[in-house]
A and B are shown apart, each in its own frame.
Chain A
């Protein structure tokens, strides 16, 4: 019998195993699924906090599954970025769990289609828990093939969730989503194959050491990147995202928009700036930056043109994802640490803000029975907290101080100006202004006092539907003021970026 101490690296598996078991139980039992999920989300949050503390106290941790060292075994490891992404997932996940509870119980009240609603609630919880496990596994894994499996878990559960509403539009979107996700995974897998051909290892640290700058490795990186870009919905490959995100049920839109796309992006970023940093060329970085710039502008313009609130929020996701990529070309000037902080802040801020915004949109949808932007006036007096949350989330998306996105944009701007690449700065600024337009186009409708009395038909929304979004929005807004802590965690984790593993055979 082994006794666990706070220094034992085996704690790493908790964020994967806990939601996994919860998912199994949620499927097995048809009652009290919410309680199981809530407990799992809470425990997951605690476990992640524990890992964070462990990281700060003892530095990055490596845990070899089954005790088998690389190259043969699979390693899970924590470092700064991974822990921050886990924290993001855990906090958002807790909010989503509560919100989903409110959402489903509200829908259960309505007599029409209660059959379908029961079915949705029944299968939401296991799918969501397994998705959470997959995401956590993705952030923790240090094995390129294991990452493929986690990507598949995330992809399948996300597609199933996207189809859960059962409406034809969402089924179609979800089918497309599933195929795109599969295509992405296969492309990724082809990249893994190329990599295995040339390196013969799967552990990322070993790959980092063994990968030369051969053409095969380059091809592998290209394939891995294309696969992940598909899943991240970078602009030319973004077509699947808006319908899938907008037509899903509200808690699911939150999951997809705030968390799922971050997983593949995180991998992409890790590959480019950690594992394959030595073979990445400037022109490739500029190419990614250009795509990001196009994404920012295109997504924002599309968001402005939408007539439905949820579609607008979905397009805003495309725009916001662009910011993550526009950081790429600044790698040479900003340095890795700065780059990681830009991306992490952006990702965190977006996750919190976007989840708050989708939650608010979902509440509005449920309250009014539609989400046509031109007809949403008067919501302010009936859903004040939701409207407030929407506004704060919007502020955060615009990157106004003191949001986390502001910190990221500040660093983006200062590194682009410091390297005299002012055009990136211009794109960032115009993206913010466009975001202002789409955020406030809706916001101003909230403030319109409707001519007639609003039809007072619906039940009041449960506080579980309003408060999580407000709390998440506030976290996103004050992330900038809390900036030292993420930076501390990042700094703790950065030793792993330089850590060299003994290569070769054991």
Chain B
């Protein structure tokens, strides 16, 4: 009981910390890190919910399966977001180059 609560609250705090960082920090890697921490927080609550001390019965495997799914999803998204961030960094200077080259032919880039 206490253990469940303890870990659940930890998960909650991790979620909050991640959320704050996600919005306040502007570095893309930091944002992605924050999302990962948030996800870990959510998973922690979920697994803690299923936790039963030894000898008190079988553990519910469904949350574990859900967390496994969640981890895989989060890794995939993280990888994609990282590549996107790299690409963004790479194009920003290329775009600058292109712009300075043909400054007459600029198009309005969106907000």
Contact = CB atoms under 8 A, between A and B. Distances in A.
A72 B60 CA distance: 11
Contacts of A308: 108, 110
Interface string A294-333: 0000000000000110010000000000000000000000
Given A152-B73, A155-B77, A156-B80, 17 more contacts: A72-B62, A145-B66, A148-B70, A166-B91, A168-B91, A168-B94, A168-B109, A169-B109, A171-B88, A171-B91, A174-B84, A179-B81, A182-B77, A190-B45, A196-B46, A196-B49, A308-B108
A80 interface: no
A193 B59 CA distance: 16
B50 to A, nearest CB: 9
Contacts of B109: 167-169
B38 A186 contact: yes
Interface in B42-90: 42, 45-46, 49, 62-63, 66, 69-70, 73, 76-77, 80-81, 84-85, 87-88
Contacts of A197: 45, 49
Contacts of B94: 168
B22 A183 contact: yes
A160 interface: yes
Interface string A103-124: 0000000000000000000000
A243 interface: yes
Interface string B17-45: 00100100000100110010011001001
A149 B69 contact: yes
Contact of A307 (B80, B88, B91, B108): B108
A178 B84 contact: yes
Q: Which of the listed residues A72, A171, A243 has the most CB atoms from chain B within 10 Å of its own CB?
A: A171
A interface majority secondary structure = helix
B110 A178 contact: no
Contact of B88 (A72, A168, A242, A370): A168
Interface of B: 15, 19, 22, 28, 31-32, 35, 38-39, 42, 45-46, 49, 62-63, 66, 69-70, 73, 76-77, 80-81, 84-85, 87-88, 91-92, 94-95, 107-111
Interface string A168-192: 1101111100110011001001100
A159 interface: yes
Interface string A58-76: 0000000000000010000
Nearest to A186: B38
Contacts of B108: 307-308, 372
A466 B5 CA distance: 59
A403 B111 CA distance: 32
Nearest to A166: B91
Contacts of A166: 91
What are the 3 closest A-B residue pairs judged by CB atoms, nearest first?
A: A168-B95, A169-B109, A168-B91
A3 B34 CA distance: 51
